[in-house]
Chains A and B, each alone.
Chain A
């Protein structure tokens, strides 16, 4: 699982470079995200623009990141499309993570 970071002020944008976040990859994804959060990155944008499939295990890992951040910060999702956006809608997680079309839009929502 490849994640690339770009810093925008105090917001860390995490670009998921793999096309899938599924049950096989979710544990590694969760560990990598938890490391970032525990290093103090509590304002995060998760860029899913290269991802074309997420299953409920992948979604659960994203939810666990939000819980880990807790009231200290925020996690916004950018670039979710097709089946990925549909999963957020089906599970009603789009109420928890507003889906932003672009990283720029997401940055505005998480900036303090």
Chain B
């Protein structure tokens, strides 16, 4: 049953939904509903970050997504050729949970939640940046049934 599916879209926020739906349906038979939804969220957040921050909204660039299915896990690797995520953010500069004052209306976060959500949603996350190429690898383990 193990297999690899390679998907690619243009760096356009309107196309992220296609990847989301494709990854979701690949996961549906392997993961429970909640875990499949978690993977969908992580993939969408990763792609949004690449398009909004990495490519700064510039279209016409490729964002590649490789989905590897095994008996024990779903691995999603997102590959781009954009500006990498700043190192201080990758190195745990972002909190692992959301901590803000819910009574401070003006101070409520409206953004910057993506990477934390990815880490909360997946079992393993790592990010490798080489000149001209960034790879975000995210793993969701398949729960024993």
A residues apposed to B, CB below 8 Å: 20, 22-24, 53, 55-57, 59-61, 63-64, 66-67, 70-71, 82-83, 86-87, 90-93, 95-96
Are A23 and B109 touching (Cβ within 8 A)? no
Q: List 7 A-B contacts (CB under 8 A).
A: A20-B17, A56-B45, A57-B111, A60-B111, A67-B105, A82-B33, A96-B108
User: Hey, which chain B residues are within 8 Å of A92, CB to CB?
Assistant: 97-100, 102
Are A83 and B37 touching (Cβ within 8 A)? yes
Are A83 and B117 touching (Cβ within 8 A)? no
Are A64 and B110 touching (Cβ within 8 A)? yes
Cα A59 to Cα B52 in complex, Å, equals: 16
Q: How far is the CB of A85 from chain B (nearest CB, A)?
A: 11
B residues apposed to A, CB below 8 Å: 13-14, 16-17, 20, 33-34, 37-38, 40-41, 44-45, 48, 51-52, 97-100, 102, 105-106, 108-111, 113-114, 117, 120-121
Are B105 and A66 touching (Cβ within 8 A)? yes
Cα A59 to Cα B97 in complex, Å, equals: 16
Given A92-B100, A92-B102: A53 and B40 interface contact (C-beta under 8 Å): yes
Are A60 and B110 touching (Cβ within 8 A)? yes
User: Hey, which chain A residues are within 8 Å of B41, CB to CB?
Assistant: 53, 55, 83, 87
Cα A39 to Cα B104 in complex, Å, equals: 25
Most buried by B among A57, A64, A70, A92: A57
Are A63 and B98 touching (Cβ within 8 A)? no
User: Hey, which chain A residues are within 8 Å of B48, CB to CB?
Assistant: 22-23, 55-57
User: Hey, which chain A residues are within 8 Å of B40, CB to CB?
Assistant: 53, 83
Query: Apart from A53-B41, A55-B48, A86-B38, what are 7 other A-B pairs with CB-CB below 8 Å?
Result: A22-B17, A22-B20, A23-B44, A53-B40, A56-B45, A70-B105, A91-B117
Are B44 and A22 touching (Cβ within 8 A)? yes
Most buried by B among A20, A23, A90: A23
Cα A20 to Cα B48 in complex, Å, equals: 14
Given A24-B16, A53-B40: A91 and B113 interface contact (C-beta under 8 Å): yes
User: Hey, which chain B residues are within 8 Å of A53, CB to CB?
Assistant: 20, 40-41, 44
User: Hey, which chain B residues are within 8 Å of A96, CB to CB?
Assistant: 102, 108
